[in-house]
Amino acid sequence: MQDLSENIQQVHNEKLGRHLVAGLAIEPGETLLEERPLLVTPHWECGQLKCAQCLQESYVMCRKCQVYPLCMDCGQHDDFECEFFASGAGKSICKDLLVKNYGICGLLKLLLLLEDPATRPDCQLLMEKPINLEDYHDGEGMWQEHEEQVVRPLMESGIVDLLPTQHLTSDVLHAHCIRIDSHAFEVSARDGDTLKGVFVCGASLPHHCVPNTVVALDEQFNMKLYAAVPLQPGDIIYNSYTNPLMGTSQRQHQLRMSRRLDCTCSRCQDPTERGTHMSSMKCRECAEGFAVCEMDANGRLGDWRCLDCKSVLPADSVHELLAEVGGALVDARGDLQVYESLLAQYRQLFHPNHFLLLDIKQNIATILRAAALMNSVEQPCKKLLARRVELCSDLLPVCRAVVPGLSKLYAIGLFEYLISLVELIELQFAESDLDKKGYVAQLRIASQAAKEAMELLRFEPENSAEGYLSERIAMELERIESDLKKYGR
């Protein structure tokens, strides 16, 4: 199920457990690991029945076992699970088991993989790491969700009695749910719906907020992990399980909630977050200074202090402000004017790269993009287009700084920037706001961005979202180059 590059070694230590290190010097783009998912399943809360084979929507049931949904295109699903309900121990189970409790389907899949002698060894790897249930008992909502959607319905279904060798108790089932969640990546079904793909090896790599690898997932749910930056012998292979556009306190909160992890990586310990100042505040005492979050020797976050005049901004007041902006963002509900006025208001208090301002900017850019698409038949407004270009270019340096090397985040940022730029300058040129020389100069910038984005995506599989994006950028580049040929002399 996993295929490890020969340049990678498996090692073990107390802090990280079993993990991978580079055995030789490794170039960016080099494949480190390829892996098939142990299982692919809808999210716990999904109520829509999905084909057991291809995971697209399905309303028909498998004729043989009558328990699993199976779409018209798929003749059969996993033999073991079908037989289990058709003629094996599960044949006495009520046929509407999944129809009534679709939330259990991911965990049921895991239990049957554990039961099947052919797949049991792969599952054992997932079971290796002990789960401390105490850590999760009071977890915000997660425990409750597992209990209601999965564990209780499964305990009541009668299945548990049919798998006696697994000694299933509600605690064992809870631990399985946590294992599934913590080893899952979001993958996309062919119909575009998002699913969870559980990867035993790829999803158990240690976390770093600045990963040195890229995870690529194709349409068949295959994972390819490749190096994002040059790796030296002995370098630990890291993955990131958080959003790089969040500030340190938000990332740490998310990692604590989802993985019970206290991150002390280099970005978390750098108050400037790789020079981006994504969590920095404007100083209230001096005109030019920025206040960064101080931390103690254990990496615990404290007050904010101005880098220039050294005055202190208490942590409480910053957290209060963050909560206030967070609430205002929820209340904005996609209203362009509200976002613009939030941006104007809070620009006074935060560093221009603060993650909350970036969040507001992304919201505005998304709305403008949708507006431009809708207006494309009529005349798109130049002012809105110019605003979008401006916002996209604001985001670029931050995207570049937080994910170095081969970065999908930066590639997507470049793409957003270049399509809005091209749209704007074509219009400006057509309406003579831009002369030929100015148009050509802007086209060169767009061409450069397109080439850079394609370079960053060149190791992505063709049949992946990023592979298709790369094709789209290539088409855009062709158009740009042909205009450059036409006007560029």
Summarize as ranges the residues that interact with Zn ion (CB under 5 A): 51, 53-54, 62, 64-65, 68, 71, 74, 82, 209, 263, 265, 268, 283, 285-286, 289, 306, 308-309
Q: Which is nearer to Zn ion, 36 or 64 (CB)?
A: 64
**Closest by CA position to 191, among listed 107, 98, 73:** 73
**Closest by CA position to 239, among listed 196, 205, 199, 216:** 205
Shortest gap between Cβ of 85 and Zn ion (angstroms)?
A: 7
Residue 41 phi/psi, 5-degree rounding, is: -150, 155
Alpha-helix runs per DSSP H in 97-138:
97-100, 105-115, 120-127, 133-137
Angle between helices 436-456 and 465-487 (to 10 degrees): 150
Shortest gap between Cβ of 284 and Zn ion (angstroms)?
A: 8
216 strand-pairing partners: 224
Shortest gap between Cβ of 305 and Zn ion (angstroms)?
A: 9
**Closest by CA position to 254, among listed 350, 140, 399:** 140
Shortest gap between Cβ of 402 and Zn ion (angstroms)?
A: 11
Structure token pair of residue 228: 């994002």
Spatial separation of the C-alpha atoms in residues 17 and 321, rounded to whole Å: 39
Spatial separation of the C-alpha atoms in residues 1 and 122, rounded to whole Å: 8
Shortest gap between Cβ of 375 and Zn ion (angstroms)?
A: 38
Shortest gap between Cβ of 105 and Zn ion (angstroms)?
A: 13
Spatial separation of the C-alpha atoms in residues 310 and 354, rounded to whole Å: 20
Query: What's the Cα-to-Cα distance from 347 to each of 185, 352, 384, rounded to whole Å?
Result: 35, 7, 20
Q: Which is nearer to Zn ion, 71 or 372 (CB)?
A: 71
Q: Which is nearer to Zn ion, 65 or 364 (CB)?
A: 65
12 strand-pairing partners: 18
The helix (run of H) or strand (run of E) holding residue 13 is strand 8-13
Beta pairing, strands 184-188 & 194-198: antiparallel
CB 441 within 8 A of CB 429: no
Shortest gap between Cβ of 288 and Zn ion (angstroms)?
A: 8
Spatial separation of the C-alpha atoms in residues 486 and 478, rounded to whole Å: 12
The owner of tokens 């798109």 is: 380
Shortest gap between Cβ of 73 and Zn ion (angstroms)?
A: 5
Q: Which is nearer to Zn ion, 95 or 444 (CB)?
A: 95
Q: Which is nearer to Zn ion, 65 or 446 (CB)?
A: 65
Q: Which is nearer to Zn ion, 52 or 114 (CB)?
A: 52
Q: How many helices (H) and strands (E) does the chain have?
A: 18, 13
User: Which amino acid is present at 164?
Assistant: P
Q: Is the dihedral of CA 430, 435, 436, 438 positive or negative?
A: negative
Spatial separation of the C-alpha atoms in residues 453 and 464, rounded to whole Å: 16
Shortest gap between Cβ of 196 and Zn ion (angstroms)?
A: 18
Q: Which is nearer to Zn ion, 242 or 442 (CB)?
A: 242
Q: Which is nearer to Zn ion, 202 or 289 (CB)?
A: 289
Give SS3 for 20: strand
Q: Which is nearer to Zn ion, 36 or 207 (CB)?
A: 207
Shortest gap between Cβ of 80 and Zn ion (angstroms)?
A: 10
User: Which amino acid is present at 220?
Assistant: Q
Shortest gap between Cβ of 90 and Zn ion (angstroms)?
A: 11
Q: Which is nearer to Zn ion, 46 or 71 (CB)?
A: 71
* Tally of CB atoms within 10 A around 191: 11
Q: Which is nearer to Zn ion, 147 or 193 (CB)?
A: 193
Q: Which is nearer to Zn ion, 260 or 479 (CB)?
A: 260
CB 66 within 8 A of CB 255: no
Shortest gap between Cβ of 474 and Zn ion (angstroms)?
A: 32
CB 76 within 8 A of CB 82: yes
Q: Which is nearer to Zn ion, 391 or 403 (CB)?
A: 403
Shortest gap between Cβ of 126 and Zn ion (angstroms)?
A: 24
Give SS3 for 301: strand
